[in-house]
Amino acid sequence: MKATSDPFVRREMLAPAAPPITEAGAVKWMRENLFSSPLNVILTVLGIGAVVYLVSHIAPWMLRGVWNAGSLSECRQIIEARYGEGVTGACWALIRERWPQYLFGFYPSELYWRPVLAFVLMLVAIAPVLFDALPRKMLWFALVYPALGFWLLWGGSVWVPVMALAGFGVGYVAAKVVQPLAGTILASIAAVLAPVLWWLFAAGPVAAALESLIPIALQEVRSREFGGFILAFTIGFTGIAFSLPLGVLLALGRQSDMFIVNKLSVGFIEFIRGVPLITLLFTASLLLNYFLPPGTDFDIILRVIIMVVLFAAAYIAEVVRGGLAALPRGQYEAADALGLDYFKAQRLIIMPQALKISIPGIVSTFIGLFKDTTLVVFVGLLDPLKGITDAVRASTDWKGVYWEPYIFVGAIFFIICFSMSRYSMYLENKLKTDHR
């Protein structure tokens, strides 16, 4: 009898076997990231020890904190009554009692709704700029928000910010009229010169005339009443919004073949980068009025914002110039081959790629700019870190409080700066088009 063997054919798939415990989950991550080599093992142990030491000493002090008290001495009495004599803890009651001062400074309490509304509308204005999934029609609000935000914060006649905003429309109309007659360069000059002339000579009288016909105004708030985070947000986010386009123009000017434009851009950038920000702030506070006509009342916050914008723009110009230098020459040649003029080539081909490369440097500059808003304390403005803290500790009830206000202010700064950093990473991943 002939022996035969029929081939065995499996009719169903085997269930996948579980990976080894060292090749999956948290164990794999720890082995690869924390214990991959003897040096990493030592550093991991030292790091864990440092974290445990800090947490064991700081966490009890924070958790023993008191939230309901009227003074520092009352805080200490409550802590000693709970945990024993000689035990210390945080006095969070200071934050509970004075948080409006940290947020709004000395802004009139009955008008708190105005900075709150301005902040909410700011989020609405920047949302379509940050996230392209939102309707593009929302961008019009981002264009008019600076005037609206100014009116809400400072008050006064609504026609003053409206006429300031109208200056940009005047510049646009001037450019459109001049371009067919004299070319792009003169049209660009007209786009800058016409708004300046409008703001210097026409905006004030027109605003006064409209105010006499249609009086629409809010209660005025002086700049000396600003303080805390409302001041930091006003200076920081205004500086961010205006320094980016100015920095891009300076970067393009530095690479320009036109001698005057190139040398002016280089001189401005190198001068600003070679001078500390605090020097510019002192210039804005003390010296700028000497160059203005007698009797001119130039708002101190506006002066500080101008100096902050110029300072940040110089650094952003160098960051953007690095992005332009990173582009291969073929991109410029491709734009020439397509017959694009300079402005179309920059808008459609060169600048989008350069800005994408420059995102990390730009956001780092913005984060530094926002943190540098605390320097305004040296020109008499009440920043949230030192100005408001010193004002609060001047009270006999809270004299002696030290760490609590700095932790509170530092936590808010961290949240804002960390959010900008995470958005930067999101934007980089979203715009990544290579296949590395």
Distance of alpha carbon 233 from alpha carbon 239, whole angstroms: 9
- Both tokens of residue 164? 């300031």
The C-alpha atoms of residue 72 and residue 90 are separated, in whole angstroms, by: 10
Q: In the prediction, which pLDDT does 121 show?
A: 92
Residue 36's domain comprises: 30-83
Could you give the number of structural domains in the chain?
3
Q: What percent of the chain has pLDDT over 90?
A: 26
Does a structural domain hold residue 99?
A: yes
Q: Is there a domain that residue 125 lies in?
A: no
**Can you tell me the distance from the alpha carbon of 239 to that of 370, in angstroms, rounded to the nearest whole number?**
8
pLDDT at 422 over 90: yes
40 & 102 share domain:
no
Q: What is the tens place of the pLDDT at every residue in 131-161? A: 877 887 888 888 889 889 999 999 888 988 8
66 and 103 both lie in a single domain? no
Q: What angle do CA 366, 368, 373 make, to 5 degrees?
A: 100
| Rounded mean pLDDT, 22-46 | 84
Is residue 205 located within the same domain as residue 62? no
Considering the domain architecture, whether residues 293 and 402 belong to the same structural domain is answered as: yes
- Summarize the confidence of residues 195-212 as an average pLDDT: 86
pLDDT at 115 over 90: yes
User: Are residues 250 and 396 both part of a single domain?
Assistant: yes
The pair of three-digit structure tokens given for residue 182, joined into one six-digit string = 């004299």
Give the closest residue to 64 by CA, choosing from 97, 39, 91: 91
User: Of the candidates 218, 246, 261, which is a domain's last residue?
Assistant: 218
Q: Are residues 188 and 284 in the same domain?
A: no
CA 376 to CA 371: how far, in whole Å? 11
| pTM of the predicted structure, to 2 decimals | 0.84
CATH number at 407 reads: 1.10.3720.10
What is the amino acid identity at position 180? P
Quick one: 386 and 338 in the same domain?
Answer: yes
**Does residue 151 sit within a domain?**
no
pLDDT digits (tens, 9 = 90+) for 334-381: 888 888 887 888 888 888 888 888 899 999 999 999 999 998 888 888
- Does 264 fall in a domain? yes
In a domain, 236, yes or no: yes
Indicate if 281 and 194 belong to the same structural domain.
Answer: no
Query: What ranges in 274-397 are assigned the alpha helix state H?
Result: 277-282, 300-326, 329-337, 342-345, 351-371, 387-393
Q: Are 230 and 113 in contact (CB under 8 A)?
A: no
Which range, of 97-101, 279-283, 359-363, averages the lowest pLDDT? 279-283
Within this chain, do residues 212 and 237 fall inside the same structural domain, yes or no?
no
Q: Which residues lie across from 227 on neighbouring strands? A: 382
First to last CA, the chain: 65
Q: For 37-88, how does the pLDDT look when each residue is reduced to its tens digit (9 = 90+)?
A: 889 889 999 999 999 999 988 888 888 888 888 888 888 888 888 888 888 8
Is 218 in a helix, a strand, or coil?
strand
Instruction: Please determine, for residue 214, whether its predicted confidence score (pLDDT) is greater than 90.
Output: no
Same domain for 257 and 196, yes or no, is no
Residue 258 has a CB neighbour count (10 Å cut-off) of: 11
- With cut-offs at 50, 70 and 90, classify the pLDDT of residue 110: very high
pLDDT 10s digits, 313-334:
999 999 999 988 888 888 888 8
Q: How large is the average pLDDT for residues 382-409?
A: 87
Q: In terms of Cα–Cα distance, which of 282, 250, 286, 287 is closest to 269? A: 250
Is residue 174 located within the same domain as residue 273?
A: no
- Structural domain contains residue 329: yes
What proportion of the chain, given as a percentage, has pLDDT over 70?
94
Q: Where is pLDDT greater, at 103 or 29?
A: 103
Which pLDDT belongs to residue 117?
94
Judge if 211 and 168 occupy the same domain: yes
* More reliable by pLDDT, 333 or 417: 417
